[in-house]
Amino acid sequence: MKKFIKNKFLAEAAEWALTAAGMFVLFLVCQNFIFRSAVVSGPSMEPTLHHGERLIILKLPFLFGSPKRNDVVAFPYKENPSQHFIKRIIGLPGDIIDIQNRMITVNGIELNDEFTNGQLLSIGDAMFPLTVPAGSYFVMGDNRDQSNDSRYAGVGCIAKKDMMGKAVLRFWPLEKFGGI
């Protein structure tokens, strides 16, 4: 670059501009294809995640594989796509989800996970038993009674193609830095 531009200042400025442009392009590629950040909003994922915590959402796991039960995923809210939800996958495609007597069952087996915060009081407005459609996933917040999730028509089952990715790292606050 310097041999084409005789003015040393202009040559240096052009080099910096090209470097900055390259970094910007690299950032856009990473943001669109590899990862993005997200902020937890509200109490729906307590005790695992808390309001205001910041996460890294990896897109790659779902480009080369399928989401798995208990993955924490991010997706746009159907009624307001600019708002993103973060929930845990409870049901996989073809699973039968049922809620009876405050108990959640998946394929007839009681869901007994260590992630939840308290007892299930609301079953939502979905009709149970519910078979998770092909290519979709049943998601719930860990704080079941403070979560707008697949139990409600406004969220429903989430198609894999609509998932932004898997939450893998909490980077803020720093004292809670680590994997999810």
Quote the pLDDT of residue 117: 64
Quote the pLDDT of residue 118: 63
10-residue block means of pLDDT along the chain (180 residues)? 62 78 71 78 92 90 84 90 91 95 90 75 87 96 91 93 92 90
Domain residue ranges in the chain: 1-33, 36-179
Quote the pLDDT of residue 124: 86
Quote the pLDDT of residue 132: 97
Kindly write down the DSSP assignment for every residue of 8-66, as one continuous string. Answer: HHHHHHHHHHHHHHHHHHHHHHHHHHTEEEEE--SSTTTTTS-TT-EEEEESHHHHHS-
Distance CA 82, CA 75 (A): 10
Spatial CB neighbours of 62, under 8 Å, sequence gap ≥ 6: 160, 163, 165, 166
Q: What class, spelled out in words, does domain 36-179 have in CATH?
A: mainly beta
- By annotation, the residues acting in catalysis are 44, 87
Quote the pLDDT of residue 12: 77
